Structure 1
Amino acid sequence: MGPQLPLALRYPPDQRLESFIAPPDGALAALSRLAAGTGADWVYLAGASRTGKTHLALAVCAAAEQQGRRAAYLPAIAAAGRMREALDALEGHDVVALDGVDAIAGAREDEVALFDFHNRARGSGLNVLYTARSIPDDIGLVLPDLRSRLQQCLRFTLHPLDDAGRRDVLRDRAQRRGLILEEAALDWLLTRTDRDLGALVALLDRLDRASLAAQRRITVPFLRQTLGAAG
């Protein structure tokens, strides 16, 4: 067995609290407190796909581990049908980020397992972050007691970024890679490619590799050549 990755290095370096663009007021401060365990409220993040829920869930785990706390990230969809087993395995952690709880909505046994975990975690001082596509009332939970517990969390709603926000994300990701991305190139990307943020970030990874291979800056001519598009 190879050596275990140390602490926060297990989490993508782009996905940190400080790199999240346009968070709701108070959200980053609340998540920082949760990661540190400084008397923090539990947090519930609601938002549609591609609004940054997973980014923040991973970022909380990284922030917790940077402070020497034991953190775990669990995508609920991966534990669907065996939620009790998955949650039991998290005993002894300090912070848990449970991403996409709507994935188990309607599965009564999984919901009961999550309800039991929630109550045990409260009693043991474990800090929990939940994410879902919408507020607890609107994700199809069949267990009223679980819905009530989730409603008691400090809640924030994430919204899709506008073009200015997408620009800021691409600029930030480029800078973190050491890339020089000209404003004209940013304009070109935002007007001629998929506007979905996840797709844009994946495209930036592709351009990073291509620019390294070609030893060229990312300019509009380079984008036209690399992506095979006109305009």
Structure 2
Amino acid sequence: MIAPPRQLTLDWPHQPSFAPEDFLPAPSNREAFDAIARWPDWTSRMLLLVGPEGSGKSHLAALWARKAAAITVPADRLGEAEIKACAESPAVLIEDADRVGEGEALLFHIVNAAVQNQSSALITARAAPDGWGLQTPDVLSRLRLAPLVRLGAPDVELTEAVLLKLFSDRQLQVEPRVVAFIAPRIERSLAAAREIVAALDREALSRGRRVTRAMAAEFLREAPPGEEAS
């Protein structure tokens, strides 16, 4: 039997929507969402937002940055220009601070500048500062003083909602029953949801077909015997 022709697929970048209406509230993110929403009435000028890869940190941080008119700086790209820009901004978002590496001295300058200038600072990371491998005690002690809120891993219901959103971001129409099949069979993380959606998007494009339950089952290796593509 000759396999059907596969179309050439181009791996175009897909930007997730960080619009307020696209944030999906759930028990796993309620505490963090409420903490972000309380700005500018924070108990401290600085807040740490901690959660696993793909837990929604970037979305919440983007909502806050828009509201606070904050400058956004990835921690692994800190330099003198970023220090100057942050010192002049009323609000600063430092993303993925656990990846700061050799830039921890620069991070310390930015954090100190935010405190001295009475600016607001939101810092995102996958773990609390004690797990970043920081070598400078002053940096660690300063970060330990900041309030910390956590994002938990999503439950099945939130995973379904996230899958639907990710498919929608890619302009893919996928039946709810397909999403309900995928959600309990993948790791409970938004990173895993992104991976399966990207894989199914590529496969659907290459086959010139829509995403089906059978196609999803092939990737998850859980296709029931004799199941036909619907």
- Relative contact order higher in (CA < 8 Å, ≥ 6 apart): 2
**Residue number among 135, 138, 153 corresponding to 1:142 in the alignment:** 135
Aligned to 1:7: none
Aligned to 1:77: 76
**TM superposition shift of 1:76:** 0.9
| Partners of 1:181 and 1:219 within 8 A in 2 | yes
**TM superposition shift of 1:114:** 2.0
State the percentage of identical aligned residues. 28
Aligned to 1:113: 106
Change (3 A) 1:136 1:185: same
Change (3 A) 1:183 1:102: same
**TM superposition shift of 1:38:** 4.3
Aligned to 2:183: 190
Q: Distance in 1 between matches of 2:97 and 2:218?
A: 43
Give the TM-score normalised by structure 2: 0.68
Aligned length: 205
Unaligned runs of 5+ in 1: 1-11
Change (3 A) 1:172 1:40: farther
| Partners of 1:72 and 1:93 within 8 A in 2 | yes
Aligned to 1:3: none
1:95-139 C-alpha deviation (Å, 9 max, x unpaired): 22111212225x3xx323222221221222321111222212222
1:28 and 2:33 aligned: yes
RMSD: 3.5
SS at match of 1:198: helix
Which protein has the larger Cα radius of gyration, Structure 1 or Structure 2? 2
SS at match of 1:28: helix
Change (3 A) 1:150 1:167: same
**Residue number among 31, 47, 53 corresponding to 2:51 in the alignment:** 47
1:48-197 → structure 2 map (5 Å cutoff): 48-64=52-68, 69=69, 71-79=70-78, 82=79, 84-105=80-101, 107=102, 110-174=103-167, 181-190=174-183, 197=190
1:151-183 C-alpha deviation (Å, 9 max, x unpaired): 122211222223232112123445677765433
SS at match of 1:128: strand
Aligned to 1:220: 213
Give the TM-score normalised by structure 1: 0.68
Aligned to 1:14: 17
